[in-house]
Amino acid sequence: MDVLTVLVGSKNPVKINAAKTIFTQYFPNTKIDCQGISAPSLVADQPLGEQATREGAENRVSYLQKHHQADFYCAMEGGAAKFEYGAATFAFVVIADNRRTSVGRSCNLPLPAPVYTRLEQGEELGHVMDDLFNTTNIKQQGGAIGLLTNHLATRESSYTQALLLAMAPFNHPEMYS
């Protein structure tokens, strides 16, 4: 059986599991060796704005490519922003191999205004949610999305969907050249 090596720019098990899930779906007859490696985002621990969030994921993938060998590299960076319709949290995902890079984005999860205010004051979303919901390390579990959707969606499900969509250029490279 062929082995596909996938490196994830984080040790967070939610991110590693999301990557392993999508690569297993796309390559069902291949053994997936999916490993998490600490990779610097070079952005704030809680990125605010779409640009900073995207750059965080891109920086993690660039680090992996410079320091490690793999078939695929991927990263997920959760961020938040205030839009004209209100504050929301989301993630950018980046998947790369040695030929191409694809950037994707998750759905928006509306955030209560007081939560976003705390993010603007420098707190991380996971810590704010732990405080409000009396949880511990929610960012390595269901995340804010799990808490705010009564666990009907999770941080991992959000990453999985974004990663699945970001794989399109790898599935049809002739259309994305």
pLDDT at 65: 98
The CB-side HSE value for 6 (13 A sphere, CA atoms) comes to 24
Beta-strand relationship, 72-83 and 3-8: parallel
Q: What percent of the chain has pLDDT over 90?
A: 96
pLDDT digits (tens, 9 = 90+) for 33-69: 999 999 999 999 999 999 999 999 999 999 999 999 9
25 annotated binding-site participant: no
pLDDT digits (tens, 9 = 90+) for 74-128: 999 999 999 999 999 999 999 999 999 999 999 999 999 999 999 999 999 999 9
Has this prediction a pTM greater than 0.85?
yes
- 58's CB contacts (< 8 A; 6+ apart) are 75, 92, 94, 101, 103
Radius of gyration of the chain (CA): 16
pLDDT at 140: 87
In the chain, where the domains are located:
3-110+154-175
Fold of 3-110+154-175: Maf protein (3.90.950)
Do 79 and 52 form a contact (C-beta atoms < 8 A)?
Answer: yes
pLDDT digits (tens, 9 = 90+) for 116-150: 999 999 999 999 999 999 999 998 888 999 999 99
70: three-class secondary structure by DSSP: coil
